[in-house]
Structure 1
């Protein structure tokens, strides 16, 4: 199944950590488009590569070497492809191989398997997507259902212990296969190779069903958009409403500016507590600035703020030609290399001086515009916007 075609349900397994803790967030997020970042798109590509390798391992007859190589070649044509993906997905495959080969009998494998937990999320039984999720890899052996999740992110390590996403996958797998296999325990694993992180956790089938009842209670609030908002750095991290959420704004304003303690000096214990409480404040301000910048670039007003061109950068138009001139001027190639890498444009300029730099190789340098950044309205730089003016629109119309 094409990963990019996945539709996200209202109460999806991937966002369970959020809507279980902050039940109103599920409906609140519906007001915002479900866009994909470049990092997420890169992760999707890595997942497709990982899926192909695992499928080749378990189903060699149906998905042999030729099909695997064809799939990899297709993925390599993607502009987000990075050769390092091969090694990281091999790490994921190696974990699965080690598990499978350590068993007395070959496990039953389900790759990119959709599992259903509709009765616990109160989803519409007729909806194919809602109340379901796609597990990267499910292994069934002995009395165990083993859910293995591949995460390509390199932000923070994700723990498998009581992980809501994986527990829902395991619950769905248990419901689907309990008549075929004597499942009495679930094992959850998260393989996060870019952080060299491997997390495993186990629970009984009874604990899994108890978790299902808890999900059902929370889902009853979430589907109606009811319950209490619970802003928190982990809960809010991937919420689409995080920049404009009033509950998060009020909580961070409270954390940042209000306290009932006014000692002359604070202790290390208090320092730790304040840092913990204020951990989301800086991130919230970043999210707020990102949202405000997008609004300004769209030509909308954000009181007291505007978008301007940030600091630009310079690049060589022809680095080899520029270096040839520098070598002829007496600079040795060894002087321009560091760890077998050419010196940056700024480093070369510092070495020979701005004046000589400009006179000798200045023609090979082009300055690129800086990335838009948000500043106060009092900043003297000219405002920039992506909004098309009437004159520009008229000009474009005449060209067509």
Structure 2
């Protein structure tokens, strides 16, 4: 089992804003989830493909989460990294590229360590690239504390070998069509580490400071039972959902950005209550556990096929094409574009209301209205 830092880079946004949360989280089991396992699988493909592209030995990962979408996005990540390496070569004869590099930033954070997806080190610049497979939360590179922690760890190793003046940090998040890069001078980064990171890390390791609820609560293991978060959500609900008669458009605009977090908090509470009842026998007053709806499925597909054929039913299989990614690998990119390119379509995505800061282009609302009319 891999070791995890108490004050990890990935949770730094949380423990820097709510310093006692790290010690509180330690009391809860670190459970996996489908999203986490899917992200781990995608990272494994990124590592493998990048190593192969750099002519390094690597064995192709096998995962239940392997899909056409995952192969396309991990291919795109490798292309992006190789582009950045070529850019580094324009100003440096022999840049170093490191994959899944262990970094230590314990000069600023007690027992602070982590693993950077990719580092490119050149004469005067360090470039850190982080792959994010998540779809739910848009991750920006600017002022990203996780990336800055990686940068401090990488500087501890390579600053004595190279005269690094600035650090670039890139987030590659293909499922959100998000590629963001932020560059900061090394001295500015070190000032932040001394004046902000180090003092807050020292408070966090001692469990000191006030609990502070915010968007950083989302992945906190203690969030479901955190009193500070509950008080904040209940206060918002009491203030925002007063008896109308009707909410104004301005009030709805105020509600839109906080609804996802309130909904997630409510779902977390419900999930915790169900798990406690099922796994630990907890009886909640006024509630009971029942069997949910399920669909029939074959217990043994081979036995079903045999039985059907024995009784004269042979038209029992469906034939499907291989995936687009597999077809492209089979034909090669050039032949694929010539033979199949004109036969590909990309259906329009479902309309989604997002903040204006989202980098995706706005949809033509008139077209959307027409689609709704056709469906009606």
Q: TM-score normalised by the shorter chain: which range applies?
A: 0.7 to 0.9
Distance in 1, Cα, partners of 2:273 & 2:242: 33
| Partner of residue 222, structure 1 | 204
Contact persistence 1:256–1:278 (CA under 8 A)? no
Is 1:176 the counterpart of 2:161? The answer is no
Shift of 1:248: 0.9
Mapping for residues 171-320 of structure 1, pairs under 5 Å: 171-212=152-193, 213-232=195-214, 234-258=215-239, 265-298=246-279, 299-315=281-297
Is 1:87 the counterpart of 2:72? The answer is yes
In structure 2, the CA distance between the partners of 1:24 and 1:120, relative to structure 1 (3 Å rule), is same
Aligned match for 2:15, one of 19, 36, 40:
19
| Partner of residue 329, structure 2 | none
Mapping for residues 98-137 of structure 1, pairs under 5 Å: 98-102=83-87, 103-104=89-90, 105-121=93-109, 123=110, 130-137=111-118
Residues 295-330 of structure 1 deviation map (CA, whole Å, 9 limit, x = unaligned): 110211223222211122234677979999xx99xx
| Partner of residue 57, structure 1 | 53
Moved more, 13-22 or 273-282: 273-282
Is 1:149 the counterpart of 2:97? The answer is no
Shift of 1:83: 4.7
Shift of 1:273: 1.4
Contact persistence 2:119–2:126 (CA under 8 A)? yes
Shift of 1:50: 1.2
Residues 87-131 of structure 1 deviation map (CA, whole Å, 9 limit, x = unaligned): 22111110011111233234211211111111211x1xxxxxx21
Shift of 1:282: 1.3
- SS of 2:269's partner is helix
| Partner of residue 368, structure 2 | none
- SS of 1:189's partner is strand
In structure 2, the CA distance between the partners of 1:85 and 1:203, relative to structure 1 (3 Å rule), is same
Moved more, 203-212 or 257-266: 257-266
Aligned match for 1:139, one of 114, 120, 125:
120
Distance in 2, Cα, partners of 1:211 & 1:258: 37
In structure 2, the CA distance between the partners of 1:194 and 1:255, relative to structure 1 (3 Å rule), is same
Mapping for residues 339-354 of structure 1, pairs under 5 Å: none
Distance in 2, Cα, partners of 1:80 & 1:143: 39
Shift of 1:262: 7.4
User: Which is greater in Rg?
Assistant: 1
Residues 329-369 of structure 1 deviation map (CA, whole Å, 9 limit, x = unaligned): xxx99xx99x99xxxxxxxxxxxxxxxxxxxxxxxxxxxxx
TM-score (norm 1): 0.70
Distance in 2, Cα, partners of 1:235 & 1:322: 55
| Partner of residue 45, structure 1 | 41
Q: Which runs of 5+ in 1 are unaligned?
A: 124-129, 341-400
Task: Give the aligned length.
Answer: 311
Distance in 2, Cα, partners of 1:106 & 1:99: 14
Shift of 1:12: 0.5
Distance in 2, Cα, partners of 1:138 & 1:270: 46
Distance in 2, Cα, partners of 1:28 & 1:202: 33
In structure 2, the CA distance between the partners of 1:210 and 1:305, relative to structure 1 (3 Å rule), is farther
Shift of 1:259: 5.8
Q: Which runs of 5+ in 2 are unaligned?
A: 322-376
